[in-house]
Amino acid sequence: MSEDAEIIVGRNSVLEALKAGRSLNKILIAKGERQGSVREIISQAREQGIIIQEVDVAKLEQLSAGVRHQGVVAMAAPVAYVEVDDILSIAYGKNEPPFLVLLDELADPHNVGAILRTADASGVHGVLIPKRRSCPLTQTVAKTSAGAVEHVPVARIGNVSQTLKALKKQGLWVVGADMDGTKNYYEADLTGPVVIVVGSEGEGMGRLTKEACDFIVKIPMRGQIASLNASVACSLLLYEVLRQRELNGK
């Protein structure tokens, strides 16, 4: 299946898509499957006039491409990417300093999905993903995000360093996460308008991206392994932003 397949897999992901009013073409349900949340999915789909089709489990296995489908797969309209300005407008509409995340060449869909889930939980206004050398919003991302992909606006951007320069001009501080950071992440002031930049799983941030950051923060490591998983590292930073904002009443 292609990376851009318009498929939503799993009960929770499909239910979140329904609740969010996502444009679904039809929902495929395994024959005889009527337990638990499947009944709610059927009910909501009927209310919204969405086609429900019973199929053999083999058909769902084929569509889900190895992702655990739990007897439910939805055929969706394309994910609606937004513009960066749309994300900023959301923040200003809430009278909150913008809180963005930029994923610099993050390729693992499980990491991207996990970050979207944490972004939703920690109050991030939107996530920026480069069009080149980065994981798009696929079914694996949606499944790993546990439905957060329906609630966190995602913008696809062109040149990363140019995007960061434009955000700086609009008053945002660009904070990169890297092992050679000058201070620990909890020592930095993250209360203002901020974009947190997380690098790829193996290489970290690109050189030009790093140069575009206002400052670099590090996560202290006391063990034998030199770095954390990208989504775990990102989660620590996002919750530090939330903690500081809560303390400052923002």
pLDDT 10s digits, 102-119: 999 888 989 999 999 999
Q: Classify domain 7-76 at the CATH superfamily level.
A: Ribosomal protein L30/S12 (3.30.1330.30)
Tell me the CA distances in angstroms from 161 to 10, 165, 207, one per residue in order.
Answer: 36, 6, 10
Give the chain's mean pLDDT. 89
Q: Tell whether the model's pLDDT for residue 222 goes beyond 50.
A: yes
pLDDT 10s digits, 156-188: 898 999 999 999 999 999 999 988 888 999 999
Q: Where are the alpha helices (DSSP H) in the chain?
A: 11-19, 37-47, 57-64, 84-93, 109-122, 139-144, 160-169, 207-212, 230-248
Instruction: Give ranges for CATH 3.30.1330.30 in the chain.
Output: 7-76
* Cα–Cα distance measured from residue 184 to residue 182, given in angstroms and rounded to the nearest whole number: 7
Q: Classify domain 84-248 at the CATH superfamily level.
A: SPOUT methyltransferase, trefoil knot domain (3.40.1280.10)
pLDDT 10s digits, 11-52: 999 999 998 877 787 899 999 877 788 999 999 999 888 889
pTM for this prediction: 0.74
Query: Which pLDDT score is estimated for 2?
Result: 39
Instruction: Give ranges for CATH 3.40.1280.10 in the chain.
Output: 84-248
